[in-house]
Structure 1
């Protein structure tokens, strides 16, 4: 069975055709550092012997070339590596979004919005360190270190062995110290960042309520506490990383001493000259600098794994109970040129379980169902009012109709069982205007146009006129008027009207209005409902109006009452016994 976090880490590594240039340039940069120090040491020692300058010209050119090469290769490695990594991050984000679509919105309701945003942004960003700070440095360092030790071995095998022992002991010790120091910090850093992000988002979104109840200070204290914990974890991680880097620098000094001790007998015996001896003494410093990338890469990989675990768990691996799946061979949807007949027989449904709920779901006898054996028929073009108290199952019914939630029993659209259709096809027939419609922080035009991107400004103004917003839009300066973040610059009624205009642009044959007056004062609720139902009716679509507040009976054709997830009577279209006063 595959590990989801490991799969995410593997996906973070670009394909080798795109990533190979970064690795090659990294080898060139690290190799240039080692060869530069070797050339410099040889040149200084040889120049002290005052030979003719002709004997120094090649070393002089080498110093210049490798000094420039180190910087150029480093730049090219950063450029090509980041290009490949950022392209891979885009693919990972697209994959997360694609996995989110089949289960949204109800299948991810248990994840806090701020935390989900942090996983989608910061945790995915952390995955860039897999290729940039883990894979590429490790591959480059391994090749350069092996080449450097082998090169020293051709000149002085004893020095090469001494340097190799120092590297093995130093890298192993640095990894061990880092593991002990960072074990807890690396596990908690990403979750703490997610908690902090969620707390900030919730504080901002509920600030008006917190101020009204004099509880804003409590929210700020929680943010401060999470910020302090996150800062401590970050400082611990930075300190451990610094200790590992310092340990590798210390190991460089030991490697110099070990190489010197091994090379002294060779110098005394005349098997190497002074410039070569100087080179054997100083090159281990450059080798230790290259080896510093190993513990840093291990630390980056552990942090990236923590983020990968959060990215993998942002969307459930398996579709939660109660969320519909697209059928392997979906049936053809009914024609959308006229509203379909809607028939529900013995429909049961429940919300997806959270971690605290356990298995959840609907049992064979209906236990745990938010809807329990609902029978309902909605005729084409009918205006139906579904009323009931809070928690009676009204919103559950709305989410079943648009296939956000799965169901047991029978739900037929135009004679076609809804479970045999792709949920996206159902949502193309049945549109939902939610209790709190989402408005983007854009102008009126952008909040409408995505419903039908071919609509002209005249069509947008016409549909706004049908929902009673034409004069308001003209007063605000036209379709370019801003609505603010989540509709902060418009009233609750205006937000509902904009959402209805958007739904009408999409030309849904069936329209479900879920508590459209929830954010409107009672004095204006009746006028808003009249405008909404009249505007929807003029398009010829069926209207399912869900409300717990009283509604003028003249606005609808029929009323049904839902209680504890059940309809007391068998409410069929056109059947007098199904209508309720």
Structure 2
């Protein structure tokens, strides 16, 4: 919810706008009947001016109310998105493994956006409607207590019937809406990400059929909710007519004696405006169920207990330095990394993926970690950058890794993933992602170090596009760009995870030699690979084949 200061103007202007709706209809009816009595024109002047004022006020106050309320809600929505993203980051990759990509994307986009309805379509309409309806009943009671009691009784009966009907028809749809959206998004993502495979095996028609099924299910859910809204509106419209009819029959015998004709006309017509305002309460109840369902899905991702295998920074880490410690230079002593009997387990797994690993690594040294697929090489890399929890001892420059914030630790140990993510932007932006203050000259220098300067020049320099997820560059070029980022970020320790995956042997040897040679001599390199190291590269070696739990 926006702060009270930000949401109060929208509520105030909303009350004024809806009060103008009721007042305009009542005063117009009074004016028409009173004018029919042909009094002196001066007796009607206040009503004529009042009708004009209320007509202008209805539009003006509604316009200002929309600006104020949406400004508050959208400002709060940006904070919600940031907080949700911040809550999701520590859960990658281990804590979200049981959720489909469509679930996560739908929760982060659709469900978080749905939360803005809480101030816009739940709280504010309910408050505004309640205030205006009660005020209208009070004013009507001054003119005729009988009319006020009749209107109140019909409001309660029609409102209860409409609410029960809406709850019965739409409740299930409200619960299914977010899930249906997520299913459709997931199938669309699968269609786009696996387009080549689907085309190669002729499975595109099947996937299109699955997308159509998901879309049809979402349409059915939305139609059920629309039918509920339509039936609710119909009940309220009928209730409005019934209230006016009963008031007409109840007050008609006393017109001229107990109540004047103009006031009688206003009392008969007021229920139409009051029911129009009252409808917002029921719409708020329907919107509340939708918001609650979306909030539950967001909470399922962001507030569920973290698995023990995923690191969580405790409150005691608040005073820990958030900057990377300086481990290089003349004052540095001892190894950059020291690992003793380290073990790593995936979330939900019963046995460790890596166990009893020990090594030390100093500045200027290279460690090559080999092993068959599934032996835990990438798992070890994730533990070194604290994306997964570990057992045993892990020290950075003699300091326990758990004593450092994840931000500080990842300022020391940088990971170049097996499939580095490249943004759909130019080469410059993909490099400045690592250090936004780098000049073009610095960027070209680091490209020279990783062997991409000539390639970049042929493509148009730093303005060369890389395409969505790096579709315009090869796997080896993507690895070189990832290493260029690591060099720009100035990591004392660089972890290269399978940089030659999908590259033939001759090119793999050249790529490995270039990548290791590009890292500054006073840095340490951890190279994870399943292939043999090219000749002439001196390194420690660690094999994980027999260490799988």
Structure 1 length normalisation: TM-score? Answer: 0.90
- What is the aligned partner in structure 1 of residue 343 from structure 2? 348
Distance 2:221 2:460 in 1: 50
- Equivalent residue runs for 1:29-428 within 5 Å: 29-267=17-255, 270-326=257-313, 328-329=316-317, 334-337=325-328, 340-353=335-348, 360=349, 368-428=351-411
Shift of residue 109, structure 1, vs aligned partner? 3.5
Match 1:454 to one of 437, 442, 457 = 437
Distance 1:539 1:486 in 2: 31
Q: Deviations over 1:456-482 (max 9, x none)?
A: 111100000111100011011110111
Q: Answer yes or no: is the 8 Å Cα contact 2:328–2:522 preserved in 1.
A: no
Task: Name the SS of the counterpart of 2:527 in structure 1.
Answer: strand
Distance 1:114 1:564 in 2: 37
Shift of residue 217, structure 1, vs aligned partner? 2.2
Task: Name the SS of the counterpart of 1:512 in structure 2.
Answer: strand
Distance 1:384 1:539 in 2: 14
Shift of residue 181, structure 1, vs aligned partner? 0.3
Task: Name the SS of the counterpart of 1:428 in structure 2.
Answer: coil
Distance 2:446 2:296 in 1: 46
Q: Answer yes or no: is the 8 Å Cα contact 1:162–1:262 preserved in 2.
A: no
Task: Name the SS of the counterpart of 1:20 in structure 2.
Answer: helix
Shift of residue 539, structure 1, vs aligned partner? 4.0
Task: Name the SS of the counterpart of 1:432 in structure 2.
Answer: strand
Distance 1:14 1:297 in 2: 17
Q: Answer yes or no: is the 8 Å Cα contact 2:325–2:408 preserved in 1.
A: no
Q: Answer yes or no: is the 8 Å Cα contact 1:118–1:193 preserved in 2.
A: yes
Task: Name the SS of the counterpart of 2:395 in structure 1.
Answer: strand
- What is the aligned partner in structure 1 of residue 5 from structure 2? 17
Q: Answer yes or no: is the 8 Å Cα contact 1:384–1:556 preserved in 2.
A: no
Shift of residue 414, structure 1, vs aligned partner? 1.8
- What is the aligned partner in structure 2 of residue 561 from structure 1? 543
Match 1:518 to one of 501, 504, 507 = 501
Q: Deviations over 1:281-339 (max 9, x none)?
A: 11111111111111111000100111111111222433221111235147666533258
Distance 1:529 1:162 in 2: 85
- What is the aligned partner in structure 1 of residue 528 from structure 2? 546
Distance 1:476 1:186 in 2: 51
Task: Name the SS of the counterpart of 1:555 in structure 2.
Answer: coil
Distance 2:278 2:64 in 1: 21
Q: Answer yes or no: is the 8 Å Cα contact 1:192–1:226 preserved in 2.
A: yes
Deviates more, 1:297-306 or 1:546-555: 546-555
Distance 1:109 1:316 in 2: 15
- Equivalenced residue count is 541
Distance 1:158 1:121 in 2: 51
Q: Which runs of 4+ in 1 moved over 4 A?
A: 329-334
Structure 2 length normalisation: TM-score? Answer: 0.95
Distance 2:339 2:445 in 1: 35
Match 1:487 to one of 470, 485, 498 = 470
Distance 2:474 2:392 in 1: 40
Task: Name the SS of the counterpart of 1:479 in structure 2.
Answer: helix
Q: Deviations over 1:321-363 (max 9, x none)?
A: 111123514766653325843222111111123xxxxxx4xxx
Q: Answer yes or no: is the 8 Å Cα contact 1:112–1:198 preserved in 2.
A: yes
The 3 A distance-change label for structure 1 pair 484 and 91 is same
Q: Which runs of 5+ in 2 are unaligned?
A: none
Q: Deviations over 1:368-403 (max 9, x none)?
A: 111112222223321111111111010011111111
Task: Name the SS of the counterpart of 1:292 in structure 2.
Answer: helix
Match 2:415 to one of 388, 413, 432 = 432
Shift of residue 115, structure 1, vs aligned partner? 2.3
Shift of residue 110, structure 1, vs aligned partner? 3.2
Deviates more, 1:450-459 or 1:259-268: 259-268
Q: Which runs of 5+ in 1 are unaligned?
A: 1-12, 354-359, 361-366, 568-581
Q: Answer yes or no: is the 8 Å Cα contact 2:327–2:397 preserved in 1.
A: no
Shift of residue 175, structure 1, vs aligned partner? 0.2
